[in-house]
Amino acid sequence: MALAKNVPAVRFEGFSGAWCEHFLGAIADVKTGPFGSALHAKDYINDGYPIITTEHFKNGVLPQNKAAIPQVGTTDYLRLRSYVLEKGDIVFSRVGSVDINAHVTDYQIGWLFSGRVLRVRTDLSIDSEYLHYELDTARAKKSVLVRAVGQTMPSINTEILKNTPVFLPMEKKEQTRIGSYFHSLDTLIAKHQQKHDKLLKMKKALLEKMFPKQGASVPEVRFKGFSGEWEVTTLGEIASIRRGLTYKPSDIVSEGVKVLRSSNIDVNIFVSKDDDVHVNENAVNIKLIDEGEILITSANGSSHLVGKHAIVENLNQKSVHGGFMLVASTSTPYFLNASMNTDWYKNFLALYVAGGNGAIGNIKASDLSKQDILIPKNFERNKIGTFFQTLDTLITQHQTQIKKLSNLKQACLAAMFV
């Protein structure tokens, strides 16, 4: 049965009736920031009143402090007081990512907005948080994008934004309920993102301290009970590296042996994908991948993607790696995987991938096997590997939650708005 016109598919209990359609300009004031001679970069000072521009909300969220934001002095602030933001304002980028908006909260009260920004302000009859999410729906974004001008760099103006159709529940209570629900989702996503980012920074700092720096033979930080210099060896002495499977289009089948590719590595985390390629078992003439082996991107059209690596975990079926991949097998995979985030591996990629030997965008198994690497005794390697395995697990958990919550938000935006 078809839904009534202008009624969302999912609704909070207690609310009914069709939503009303309006043009944004009929329910809100839309204003462009100061143009031309009103403000110059030379007017900026180190400690003053912040002025946001498009680059400060590309992800749909405004910064909560003024660090790294252009700032102006009191004289300019008073001169530009008609461009001061209030709580509940909504800001759009005038150029570039014109379909993205951000909501002004307590943190940004009193900040200014630049000439590259459009400010939307409603009166108290409309819940601005609801409107922020209404303008974040796929329908509203598409409406803005299709009317933007400019082929290489989309841009919008006040008239384009004013003519954007929006839908509002008749009762402000329903608007507030919806806005609060999505705010709660965003708060959860932000918390996981903060913890995720904090753990990444911690991991980077610990990698620098728990592995010897260039020219040193011992790390700055070490687990209790370990001492002595680390030994220089080649990667080939502690790991065997093998090339991937070369297969023909005729070998591809709907069900068979999974072929792992560069797309199975997401920021040094192994991921299984629904669109993985499968080949006929008869076409497989190399060793199947075992869990705990390290998958490495050996070739790619973009050199910055070459050298990605991750430990293969949670395989759900027989798998091999593709011809543009390498696999490293070692008794201490988590140690080696962590070590591949340190200087020796970065230097190797800079030489062998960035063009030092002419092999742009390609890693040879033989070249990687010959690389010198510093290692401690086996027991210490296991200790370090286990530590970074635990840290990576925590990072992955937050990353997974961010993706789940983000997917939930998109699904709810589609179902809970007209």
Structure tokens at 14: 């207690």
Find, among 204, 13, 199, 28, the residue nearest to 101 by Cα.
28
**Which residues in 93-109 are b (16+ Cβ under 10 Å) and which e?**
bbebbbbbbbbbeeebe
Q: How many CB atoms lie within 10 A of CB 406?
A: 15
CATH class of the domain at 20-168: alpha beta
Per CATH, the architecture of 231-375 is what? Answer: Alpha-Beta Complex (3.90)
pLDDT in tens, the chain (418 residues): 345 689 999 999 999 999 999 999 999 999 999 976 677 778 899 999 999 999 999 999 999 999 989 999 999 999 999 999 999 999 999 999 999 999 999 999 999 999 999 999 999 999 999 999 999 999 999 999 999 998 789 999 999 999 999 999 999 999 999 999 999 999 999 999 999 999 999 999 999 999 999 899 999 999 999 999 999 999 999 999 999 999 999 999 999 999 999 999 987 789 888 778 999 999 999 999 999 999 999 987 676 789 999 999 988 899 999 999 999 999 999 999 999 999 999 999 988 885 554 445 689 999 999 999 999 999 999 999 999 999 999 999 999 999 999 999 999 999 999 9
Find, among 208, 237, 216, the residue nearest to 371 by Cα.
237
The whole-angstrom separation of Cα 142 and Cα 187 is: 25
Strand, coil or helix: 260: strand
pTM: 0.86
The whole-angstrom separation of Cα 382 and Cα 389 is: 10
